[in-house]
């Protein structure tokens, strides 16, 4: 039986409950109510000797016409910006300064076990009489999508058995904590005094309490006057079906390194269209031939951190995003200013554009 992670877990045990004697399942003798991580079996992996790396291309500097047209389109999308500066400026220098974003992903699997229970309602009980329980890493369960976080719960075959409920001593009910089995509680309106105090026309008057019919008590709403509530462990069925639950956690572990040498905000670079170099392998090797040496160093450093000895590594992927950035130096009214054209879509970042006020609007 396999299930996704539930919102509520019946195994939230009361610390005051007695210690439970669990069935002895060969291979699972140390399993308790708390998750216990299981180191994965060894994997024989021999790294390739000559894993080829792709050639990396660079983005060229844009032309002066492209830089000016990009700024004109950007100005036209802004409210109250004037086009005069973009039309009359003199471009002095176009300097290529690309941004880089290295991303490493390692897709891992982690398994743990714990004793779990559910109310016994007559459902099948797959116990040790059906054979030995398989090892936690011998149960064939696979992920649905690589590089996606996912959690599944699976009952370990041949570990189930039925036992009287420890929460209610197999009675099916518990004493109501609100009324202490008295069926009634003190009236919340008069606090049991059978009287109410009222102020009418600045006079202090004492009247009989209408809510409790002058008894000082009312029926307990928690138990409906029965004095008992249904056991929340067995839900009134008096018995529990115990089994060892296997928890499988697939995780996409992500690390990255960002290189930005201009005044362009990182969030703009991350959202821009880029030239991407990507490699997906069972194990990727560090990037060594990228023109920007800092990327090679970051790849080596991050890969050394993605070892995960307590998990199985299923797949790795790394990517280099190169965002073309051109820094444009221009002169307007004897002032030197900068703006940036970035991304494959030639977006513009120009926080110091000189005509951002309403006087830049054309008055019809």
Grade residue 327 by pLDDT with cuts at 50, 70 and 90. very high
Whether residue 11 is predicted with pLDDT greater than 70 in this model: the reply is: no
Q: Which residues contact 241 (CB under 8 A, 6 or more apart)?
A: 117, 118, 119, 120, 123, 125, 160, 161, 162
At 102 the pLDDT is: 94
Grade residue 45 by pLDDT with cuts at 50, 70 and 90. low
At 263 the pLDDT is: 78
Domains and CATH numbers, the chain: 64-104+252-360 (no CATH), 173-230 (2.10.230)
Residue-wise pLDDT for 192-236, tens only, equals 565 555 555 555 566 667 667 667 778 788 787 888 899 999 999
Mean pLDDT, rounded, of the chain: 85
Single pTM value for the model: 0.75
């Amino acid at each position: 039986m396999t299930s996704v992670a539930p919102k509520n877990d019946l195994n939230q045990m009361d610390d005051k409950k007695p210690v439970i004697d669990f069935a002895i399942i060969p291979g699972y003798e140390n399993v308790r109510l708390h998750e216990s991580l299981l180191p994965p079996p060894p994997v024989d992996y021999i790294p390739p000797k000559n894993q080829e790396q792709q050639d990396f291309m660079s983005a060229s500097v844009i032309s002066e016409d492209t830089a000016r047209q990009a700024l004109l389109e950007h100005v036209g999308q802004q409210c109250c910006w004037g086009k005069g500066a973009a039309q009359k400026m003199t471009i002095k220098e176009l300097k290529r300064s690309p941004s880089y974003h290295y991303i490493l992903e390692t897709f891992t699997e982690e398994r743990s076990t714990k004793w779990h229970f559910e109310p016994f309602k007559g459902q099948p009980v797959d116990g040790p009489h059906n054979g030995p329980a398989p090892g936690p890493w011998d149960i064939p369960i696979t992920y649905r999508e690589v590089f996606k976080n996912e959690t599944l719960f699976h009952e370990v075959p041949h570990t189930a058995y039925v036992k009287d409920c420890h929460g209610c001593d197999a009675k099916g009910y518990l004493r109501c904590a609100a009324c202490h089995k008295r069926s009634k509680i003190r009236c919340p309106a008069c606090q049991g005094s059978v009287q109410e105090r009222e102020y009418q026309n600045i006079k202090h008057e004492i009247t009989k309490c209408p809510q409790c019919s002058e008894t000082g008590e009312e029926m307990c709403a928690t138990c409906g006057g029965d004095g008992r509530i249904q056991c929340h462990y067995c839900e009134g069925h008096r018995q529990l079906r115990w089994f060892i639950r296997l928890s499988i956690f697939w995780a996409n572990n992500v690390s990255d390194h960002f290189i930005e040498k201009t005044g362009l905000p990182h969030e703009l670079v991350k959202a821009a269209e880029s030239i991407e170099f990507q490699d997906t392998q069972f194990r990727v090797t560090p990037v060594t031939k990228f023109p920007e040496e800092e990327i090679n160093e970051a790849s080596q450093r991050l890969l050394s951190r993605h070892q995960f000895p307590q998990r199985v590594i299923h797949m790795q992927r790394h990517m280099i995003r190169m965002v073309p950035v051109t820094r444009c130096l221009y002169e307007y009214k004897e002032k030197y200013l900068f703006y940036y054209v970035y991304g494959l879509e030639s977006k513009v970042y120009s926080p110091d554009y000189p005509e951002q006020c309403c006087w830049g609007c054309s008055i019809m």
